[in-house]
Chain A
């Protein structure tokens, strides 16, 4: 079944640790996205990719980095986690509709990160 997966679902980690949040999709989509969402707030785009070896920063500045070596995989890395990074991180993927060129994004379940 085509889907989008994120691991881990929950992560509690100490300050200064390096972490990688995993995101994989089996839908064959070229475009992938990372969003950051604080409790009760809207989503903010922090990274996106239009395909392999393509990565761009989003609208919200983030200290995280991403890579896109394979179409299905879009991991997000924090080199040194801080309490200010505590948030929920949502991954999504999309492809353009052939009729009108717009995209529908499909979301993973999210990773809730807590940095102590």
Chain B
């Protein structure tokens, strides 16, 4: 069985400060993990993905995430928040035997204050 838990439903940061969005997963198989971002009234955009290569994954717009198997975590970080980062972020888990189906976390809403 697979599941994913996003530990914060809402995170608020000031522009220029670091961003940390937390995600823990559970998987009976070697997981593939993703972070997607959704801006208001838009579809989901892939930020980055981990598929058993390097544990530190760099994505678009300065975001990165580190896969920590011992902690079953895949937290998303960015050194300096920008106003345009304000959006909903989804952590997602799957594995090779899921036929392409994804398991979504509940989402974390990121607010960025000027």
Q: How distant is B1 from chain A, measured CB to nearest CB, in Å? A: 13
How many residues of A sit at the interface, in one of the four size bands?
20 to 34
Q: How distant is B4 from chain A, measured CB to nearest CB, in Å? A: 9
Q: What CA separation (Å) do A43 and B6 show in the bound complex? A: 14
List A contacts of B95 (CB < 8 A): 102
For chains A and B in complex, what number of residue pairs have CB atoms within 8 angstroms?
A: 62
Query: Which positions 57-81 of chain A face chain B at CB distance < 8 Å?
Result: 58
Are A50 and B107 within 8 A (Cβ)? no
Of B16-24, B76-84, B97-105, the segment with at least 4 beta carbons within 8 Å of chain A is B97-105
Are A100 and B52 within 8 A (Cβ)? yes
Inter-chain pairs besides A104-B34, A110-B42, 15 sampled, C-beta below 8 Å: A40-B88, A40-B107, A41-B106, A42-B104, A42-B105, A42-B107, A48-B100, A50-B100, A102-B32, A102-B96, A104-B49, A105-B100, A105-B102, A109-B42, A110-B43
